Structure formats: C-alpha cells, structure tokens
A and B are shown apart, each in its own frame.
Chain A
Amino acid sequence: MALSKQEIAQRIAQELQDKWYVNLGIGIPTLVANYIPKNIDVVFQSENGMLGMGTFPIEGEEDADLINAGKQTVTILKGGSLFDSAMSFSMIRGQHVQLTVLGAMEVSQNGDIANWKIPGKMVKGMGGAMDLVASAENIIVAMMHTDKTGQSKLLKKCSLPLTGVNCVKKVVTNLAYLEIKNDAFYLIERAPGVSVEEIIAATEGTLIVEGEIPEMKF
C-alpha cells in the first residue's frame, strides 16, 4: 500500500537527529513535527521569525501576532525566541539550520527542484524556498511520486521553473525512499507492499536498484 501523507511525514521524521534545528515547509512537511522520535531534541524554525515553534494553541488562546510561515496560529515553546526576517534568513543562509523539509512539484535526478510556479497557470511565489534549498546541508523533499494525472514527478530534467539546482539529497514519496547521487535516483526503501516494479514504472528519471530493496519500517 502506498503511504498516506502522515506516513510520508512519519518516515521523514526518522531522519531527524538529536540537537538539530529544522525548518519544515508547508503541507506534508508540517506533519513531520507530529512524529519526532522519542529521546531526541529538535527545534523547529519558522522563517517568519521564530525558533521553538510549538503546537496549535488551545481553542480561544490563539494570538494573531503568533503565526508560522503557513500563516497558521501557533504557540512558542519555553526557550523559544523571536526575531526579524533578516535574522531568520541569516540563520538559514548561514547554515545554522541543519535540515530543510519541503514539498515539490518536480525533482530531477541531479537534485534540481521546482516548486513555485507553473508558467501561465499558477504563480504562488517561492517564499523562503530558494533561500532554504540554496543553503541547507540536508534537504529532504516530501511529495507524491506522481501527479494527479499519473505523470512521474521524479524526472531526468525538471520542466518547470527551478527553485534550486543540485541541492536535493533525499526524497520520500508515497511509494519510496530515494537518495540522489551520481546523477540518478537510488532506491533505498519501498513503501510496505509496494513492488520495485511499481516504483520503476512511476519514475521517469534514471533509477538505480541495487540488490534487495527493504520495506520501510515504522
């Protein structure tokens, strides 16, 4: 069975390491915060100016002056801090944030990512994504393996305007966990019950399958 969005987030959460500062993008990446492994400490950075982002406020305690980068009302944890946008992106470009998790429309086998614009159709803007992908040491993309029409989102070359080049190292989709190196996607794990053949069929870019591919464990 292909993974749900929650399960994609759950698999990504296994990549978190103790004492990391982490920036989570909008959508599936936001869900990663629900699955932090026990006995590690991570701090979430929200690029609109907060470290130590907490859960959604209890009903009635929401504060219009305390939101995350998705404009959702949130809380701040004990030991958190608040700052302006220039300082926030100093943390990001200065590589003080260890991991970025974000969504994508397309990823290519050389690590390019596209996620901000469909010419003539949809323009949302890149927000902080270009700064994040140009700077983070570790970038994990969370997305569906194919789009709504069944077309692969893991490509030889992106067709949409790029957000960043040669930057994505890992991709977790509803079908698989893949790493990007040597100009190819390497299949590392399968979603439970999903066959290697299904993943090959859903991947347009070069896919390297070495030996037995294990199923993800949760």
Chain B
Amino acid sequence: MINKVVKNAQDALKGAENGMTFMLGGFGLCGIPENCISELVRLGVNNLTCISNNAGVDDFGLGLLLKKHQIKKMISSYVGENEEFERQMLSGELDVELIPQGTLAERCRATGAGIPAFYTPAGYGTEVAEGKETREFNGKMYVLEQAFDPEFAFVKAWKGDTAGNLIFKGTARNFNPMMAMAGKITVAEVEELVEAGELDPNQIHTPGIFVQRIFQGKDYEKRIEQLTVTPKS
C-alpha cells in the first residue's frame, strides 16, 4: 500500500508559498485543521486566498491568519462571528467572496470530481448571480457556478491510516471530504493515525486516493463556539 505519512505539520506543508490558494475544512471551529493553521501562522506565508466555510473567531482558527494579515482573499459562506474579519472587509483590506453554502460545497466537490461547472438554483436573482450565466430548466432559473483550483487542501479527520484513508466524527465531517477531493496536494491531519488495515474498509469516508500527505495531529483544542447545555436536573 502507498504510504502517505509525513512526520509533522512542518513536513506536510512543504511547498506552501505566498500567493497560493488553499482550502481549509471545518464548519465554525468544528473539524478545522488546527495543526495546519498553526503551521501556516508559523511559516508566515501571505497573500493567500483561503476557501473555507467560515473565517474562524478573532483568536482561533482562520482568525489567527487574519490577525497577521496573511489572507488577501477569503471565499466563505458565513463570517458572522469574527469582528476582525468584518473590520478588514468593510475597510477594504480584505477581499471577500461570499457564496451560498451549498454552492461552496458543490464547487469543492466539482473541483475534485472533474466537473468544471454546474447549474444551481441558489442565488438566482441576487447579487451572487451577477455576471454569471443563467439558464432555465423545466421552468425554473439556475446559475452556472464553477469549480475551484486550489494548490493545497487542508483537512482534519478523526481517524486515518497510513494509506490516507479517513474517517470523520460527528458534524466535524462537513466540508472536509469534498475539500480532500479537491486539493492538488491534500494534507490530512488526524487525531489518531493507525496502520493500513486497521480501519474497516466499509467505514471509510474519504478513500486514500484523495490524500497526498497524512500526519498525526497534536494538542487539539477543539474549541466550542456556542456551549449550549441542558442543566442536570
């Protein structure tokens, strides 16, 4: 079996340079590649275009890259929890493309699936559709949306094996599987790295073919954005 293992985040990010386009998995702070983000901050690469559903919070996730002005352009669906993001966007320091969440997911999927473009009803008649081709199918209007072209995709899984197969947990799956398909180089960081053969092939969410580099992550904070509980009675 092809071995995809690299030693750490530092080795996993070899070749990451200024001006590149990156995809980063996660929904809010759930399922984000914490180790890769820390390494991007350490490397100091800048002028980046980042494709990620959200932009982290002020002091965690992609917020760490924003604070250091490493991101030139952000492509997301929702950025409501980050004041620094909003400030940089409204002041024009940061270029932002906001796109519908389902369109974002499908554009990631299309990228990895060899589909250059597709029609979706989302955003028809809104500013999201401005400048884009529209077309009627069966009496309903659709907008043509295109695939991305990222150099790297950074994803985070619960378990992975040396062959690059990945299993996600809970709602930490979110954008990670489609982004894994889309990267020219896909880096997977995992909470638990095991030998090939130890994961049940029936349970694999992302087959190893989509993953170029995998490493055992460390020091996961897994911060909860909105803690909501039912009091013990």
- Mark A residues whose CB is within 8 Å of B: 46-50, 55-74, 76, 82-86, 88-89, 92-93, 112, 116-117, 120-131, 134-135, 161-166
Contact = CB atoms under 8 A, between A and B. Distances in A.
B223 to A, nearest CB: 7
Interface of B: 27-31, 53, 76-81, 86, 89-90, 96, 98-106, 108-109, 120-128, 158, 168-178, 205, 222-232
Chain A at the B interface: SS class:
loop
Contacts, number: 190
Nearest to A49: B171
Contacts of A112: 125
Given A86-B178, A89-B105, A93-B122, A126 B229 contact: no
B227 A62 contact: yes
Contacts of B123: 126, 130, 134
A161 B98 CA distance: 13
A66 B127 CA distance: 33
B105 A65 contact: no
A125 B174 contact: no
Given A73-B227, A85-B53, A65 B80 contact: no
Contact of B231 (A48, A59, A123): A59
B122 A65 contact: no
Given A56-B230, A124-B80, A71 B225 contact: yes
Contacts of A65: 30-31, 158, 169-172, 222
Contacts of B30: 48, 64-65, 67, 71
26 contacts: A48-B27, A60-B232, A63-B170, A65-B158, A67-B171, A68-B171, A71-B30, A71-B225, A72-B228, A73-B227, A89-B102, A121-B90, A125-B77, A125-B98, A126-B99, A126-B128, A127-B78, A130-B100, A130-B122, A130-B128, A131-B101, A131-B102, A131-B103, A135-B121, A161-B127, A164-B126
